[in-house]
Amino acid sequence: MISVVLCTRNRANHLRRALESIGNLSRPCDLAWEVVVVDNDSTDDTRAVSELFLRESGINVTYVFEGRRGTSHARNAGIRAAQGDVLAFVDDDIIVDPEWLVNIVSECIGDGTCSVLFGQTKLMWADQARIAIKEEPFEEIYVYPCNPAAPGASNNMVVRRSILESVVGFDTSLGPGTLLRGAEDTDFTYRVLRSGGKIKYCPRILVRHNHDRLTRRAVRSLLLSYGRARGGFYCKYVLRQDLWAAKLCYWEIKCCLKRLLDQDRRRDTAVHLIGMAAGFVLRLGLEVTALVRRRPIGCGMDTAACCS
């Protein structure tokens, strides 16, 4: 069984379009599947849109309300509610290709050795900013050690439930809705790799990113958030004496310093570096506070597993 997990907050119009694309999916006639919509404390028409889709689509739809704000809380709620052996995560600004589900089934049957699959994410429109996409046309396998951000992003990610026995959920101190604003998917991927899991990038598992960051100011704000998230991610593992994470941090900073010499990329790179520094400091503050209170930072569905 496959569970499509879609988390959303106060974006009913985006959600409506995403659900319409899910409703138009081709699907094998013998496939058991469901859609789990996680409402992350919305105050708009999110519930009404979800319930309308349930009534009109004929698909097995579960609506879940998660009052704790943050994408990681929402995804963990989706994991708890989902019944599938395979969980396919998408965001509310994603439009799935009609063959998306068929190709997920094909990949899962064809290669049972991969714990996580990442699909190809293209822009919905050519004039949109090139953010949160991955368009490489060729398959690739990732094993530790590698860059955990390389396989893809959680706007098009497929997870076998079996890996959740060792990698328990998303770190709730990371991700949109937290001080660190992101990197919950990078952190999850890193823990999968560290646990010995194999990850595959599958370009035929295709979605399109229909994002609404249309101005340079909006894009730079997102770049700042991405940098902040990366800094927080690196701080988490550097403090745990993780040598590979420390190397990744060094290489990213070195690469950014080189890009500062490129006049066309200088400002965006500076924004990213500022974000990284802020994220590192913010995560350090969270760690110190947790140490003083003798309480681990809330992360994932199992704090010990997520923070180890």
Same domain, residue pair 63 and 116:
yes
Same domain, residue pair 40 and 85:
yes
69-78, 228-237, 288-297: which range is least confident on average? 288-297
- Residue 237's domain comprises 216-307
Same domain, residue pair 288 and 257:
yes
Same domain, residue pair 9 and 157:
yes
Same domain, residue pair 198 and 83:
yes
pLDDT digit string (tens) for 144-181?
999 999 999 999 999 999 999 889 899 999 999 999 99
Report pLDDT for 126.
Answer: 83
> Mean pLDDT across the chain, nearest whole number?
93
pLDDT digit string (tens) for 208-226?
998 887 788 888 999 999 9
- Given 209, 243, 259, which residue is the final one in a domain? 209
- Given 165, 183, 209, which residue is the final one in a domain? 209
Same domain, residue pair 18 and 154:
yes
Report pLDDT for 162.
Answer: 95
Same domain, residue pair 238 and 204:
no
Same domain, residue pair 86 and 17:
yes
pLDDT digit string (tens) for 268-291?
999 999 999 999 999 999 999 999
Task: Report the predicted TM-score, pTM, of the whole model to 2 decimal places.
Answer: 0.94
Same domain, residue pair 151 and 229:
no
Model confidence at 300, pLDDT cuts 50, 70, 90, reads low
Same domain, residue pair 184 and 228:
no
Same domain, residue pair 96 and 37:
yes
Model confidence at 299, pLDDT cuts 50, 70, 90, reads low
Percent of the chain with pLDDT over 90: 84
Quickly list DSSP for the chain. Answer: -EEEEEEESS-HHHHHHHHHHHHT----TT--EEEEEEE-S--SSHHHHHHHHHHHH-S-EEEEE--S-SHHHHHHHHHHH---SEEEEEETTEEE-TTHHHHHHHHHHH-TT-SEEEEEEEESSTTS---S-B---S-EEE-SSS-TTSS--TTEEEEEGGGGGTS-S--TTSBTTSTT-B-HHHHHHHHHHHTT--EEEEEEEEEEE-----SHHHHHHHHHHHHHHHHHHHHHHHTTT-HHHHHHHHHHHHHHHHHTTSTTTHHHHHHHHHHHHHHHHHHHHHHHHHHHHT-PPP-SSSHHHHH-
Averaged pLDDT for residues 43-54: 97
Report pLDDT for 131.
Answer: 85
Is residue 68 scored above 60 in pLDDT?
yes
How many domains are there within the chain? Answer: 2
Is residue 40 scored above 60 in pLDDT?
yes
CATH number at residue 147: 3.90.550.10
